[in-house]
Amino acid sequence: MAGFDTLMHLFAGGCGGAVGAIVTCPLDVVKTRLQSSGSLAGIRPWDTCHSTSLISNVVPVDGSTVRLVQGHVPQTPPSLLRCLQTIVEKEGMRSLFRGLGPNLVGMAPSRAIYFAAYSRAKDKFSTIFQPSSPLVHISSAACAGFITNTCVNPIWLVKTRLQLYARHRGECSLTALQCTRHVYRTEGIRGFYRGITASYAGILETIMYFTLYEAMKDALLKQSKTQNSIDGQKRAIDFLHIMFAAAVSKSCACCLAYPHEVGRTRLREEGTKYRGFVQTLLLVVREEGYRALYRGLQAHLLRQIPNTALTMATYELVVYLLSN
């Protein structure tokens, strides 16, 4: 039964992650572009008079080309809609789904690993601390976050590089395999773990999220049980409550811990001046101001809220179906 329970959470977590990744992929691309240090997040110099960026020389990668956008960050970052419009106009609709392959390859196992680790850790910590206490949720979330980030950081690095790859409409796209070979050839194995320190710092966001989520979910489900007596109606309301709790708790955690997202994207860029997590944050503040630590927050929230709600609702639904 313990083995089945672990597999059930692995499968449920993978389903939830895949659904959320597909629906919100365009916003993920826009968020990554806005977080980067490139000119207007991939928008070329002729797209705006405020940009002072330069396009670097083309770097060969297994017969393809990688166009890196480098230079000074523009004075006025583009809006979310402006970034979406420019990507569609210059690169085509398909570019809004750049990195979806690695995202699906990484999201399903990362969510699966996370939910399985969280579930097992919660069982273990419940024997040490008071069951269902905030301390159990915090400890479980920290363990699950550390394990997941360590396992899937290489996949997320490739996804980020693909999303930052700017191309003209009709040009050949850089594939995940080509990007992986390029990273290995130029940076070695260590290159796949760029940004891992920022990911570990992001565990604080996960801790805040799961602590708020568990508290809100329990409170809403208790209220639902006292107000609804019909099973079918109660289950439907329960899943709405789960989605609401996930969306609210995730938005709060994202706002509080967002700077680590910007730091992680900057660290994952190729050939940049960013070397360490703290050094990156200090350099961003010194060169661009404190507001730069929240570049792309709007796109991040618009993506994360429905993504988290879909992920958690799918996860809880699959667990419910498999448990019965």
CATH number at residue 146: 1.50.40.10
Structure tokens at 224: 């639902």
Q: Amino acid letter at 276?
A: G
Predicted pLDDT of residue 225: 67
Report how far residue 311's alpha carbon sits from residue 99's, in angstroms, rounded to the nearest whole number.
Answer: 19
Each residue of 113-149: pLDDT tens digit?
A: 887 888 888 888 988 888 878 888 888 888 988 999 9
Number of domains in the chain: 1
Predicted pLDDT of residue 320: 78
Which among 113, 120, 118, 127 has a CA at the least distance from the CA of 155?
Answer: 113
Report how far residue 168's alpha carbon sits from residue 55's, in angstroms, rounded to the nearest whole number.
Answer: 13
Which residue positions in the chain have pLDDT lower than 50? 1, 39-74, 229-230, 232-234
Each residue of 236-279: pLDDT tens digit?
A: 667 777 778 888 888 888 888 999 999 999 999 887 788 889 99
Q: Range of 150's domain?
A: 2-323
Contact 75, 38 (CB under 8 A): no
Predicted pLDDT of residue 185: 93
Report how far residue 303's alpha carbon sits from residue 280's, in angstroms, rounded to the nearest whole number.
Answer: 24
